[in-house]
Structure 1
Amino acid sequence: MATLFFTSACQGQTSRTGNAGLQKKKVLIISSSPSKGGNSDLLCDEFLRGAKEAGHEAEKVFLGDLDIRFLKIKDDYTDRNLGINDDAPKVVAKMIAADVIVMATPIYNDNMCGQMKTMLDRVFEREHEVKNKEFYFIMTAGGSNTECALLGFRNFIRYLPGSKEKGVIQGTGIHLKGSVKGKPVMKEAYEMGKNV
């Protein structure tokens, strides 16, 4: 089963204008699947394909290829990274530079996967800089419950000034790796990417 919906347009978003009046946007897709080619990752690829075909500058980051460590902070919050030397700051910098951010996760225990939550925690140190973004969320689940993960994403963007939710893709009843192929939700991800 697939659920697709769009939310209201983001106001005040600045984007470059290309040929034929297209508002060319910088699109960052963050795939947190622990399995490359997993169902949520495949939906990311379709979103990416749609965005590129529409003329946008789009990139997918696969967190499983990166070294992303847990957030560490001092008790008085004066130092929020405590000398962590990993790939998280590079991802955060890409988020700051993007116009559109897509976050994708498989659902485990009715929630987003640990890889995504760890990455979101690492944004904490620069959350005030991740502003005026358009967000899309992709979730896949063997069952039907994506509510906790969606709530987690929505709570996260509440702390990012001027950022708006623009769309959600929920692929449910999809369990085995690759079983999303041929499902309507694949086309939905592609179309959503085309229409960012």
Structure 2
Amino acid sequence: MKVLVMHGSKRKNGNTGLLAGEFIRGAEEAGHQVERVELGDMKFGDCLGCMACWKNPGKCVQKDDMTAVLEKFGQADAIVFASPMYFFSWTSLMKRGIDRLYPYMTIAKDKTFYLIVAGGVPEEKLFDNMLQDFQKYVECFNMHGGVNNRNGGHILGKGTLAPGNVKESSAMQEAYEMGKNLGKN
């Protein structure tokens, strides 16, 4: 299975990055091919909303670092959105990255989406905005011609405000297990 991990934080080794790393470790141990893209290292613009990609599915008129990510997205069986939670939502970097996946809305097929998020709040209900948005993103890939795309689940690194303290949480093992068990559910 090919897995694309889109990491939407400027801190590669922050709490979200650590969780993504455990997911990747589990997935690679299970024999999956994993690629992690660091959106914070890339130069790319916002979606223009021009709809040109609907005339040319899978292609964006912008020629920037997202061109390679779009190609990887098209080839991947599993997509992981890994983002810290800022003000009860995605980082702006992650949101821009997700918006640029628009060229695949009409043709995405048989993809399973996962969410990995770390946030300083201790209660799961405070992650509700992100979880609801994530489910809606997955549904978008089935609305206009995409088929059989599904929500594979999520990992929440709750109460992880201080750098590195996610290492002390059960979310690390959960992320590893989710990666290890890809495709088994």
Pair in the same fold by TM > 0.5: yes
CA contact (8 A) 1:72 1:82 kept: no
1:86 alignment partner in structure 2: 64
Deviation at 1:130, TM superposition (A): 2.3
Give the aligned length. 170
SS of 2:140's partner is coil
1:20-45: CA deviations, max 9, x gaps? xxxxx111111111211011111000
Q: Give the drift of 1:47.
A: 0.4
Q: What CA deviation, in whole Å up to 9, does each residue of 1:142-166 have, x standing for no partner? A: 0132111111111111121221111
CA–CA distance in 2 between the matches of 1:180 and 1:156? 26
For the pair shown, which has the larger CA radius of gyration, 1 or 2?
A: 1
Letter of the 2:133 partner, please give it.
G
Root mean square deviation, CA, Å: 1.8
Cross-structure match for 1:150: 131
Q: What is the TM-score of this pair, normalised by structure 2?
A: 0.85
Distance apart, 1:132 and its partner CA: 1.2
Judging by fraction of residues, say which structure has more strand: 1
Amino acid at match of 2:155: I
Aligned to 1:62: 38
| AA partner of residue 30 (structure 2) | A
The TM-score, its normalising length taken from structure 1, stands at 0.81
Structure 1: state its 5+ residue gaps. Answer: 1-24
Seq. identity, %: 36
In 1, Cα distance between the equivalents of 2:53 and 2:9? 30
Structure 2's unaligned 5+ residue stretches are none
Per-residue CA distance 1:27-82 (angstroms, 9 max, x = gap): 111111121101111100000000000111111111111112111134xx457898
* Divergent runs of 4+, >4 A: 78-83
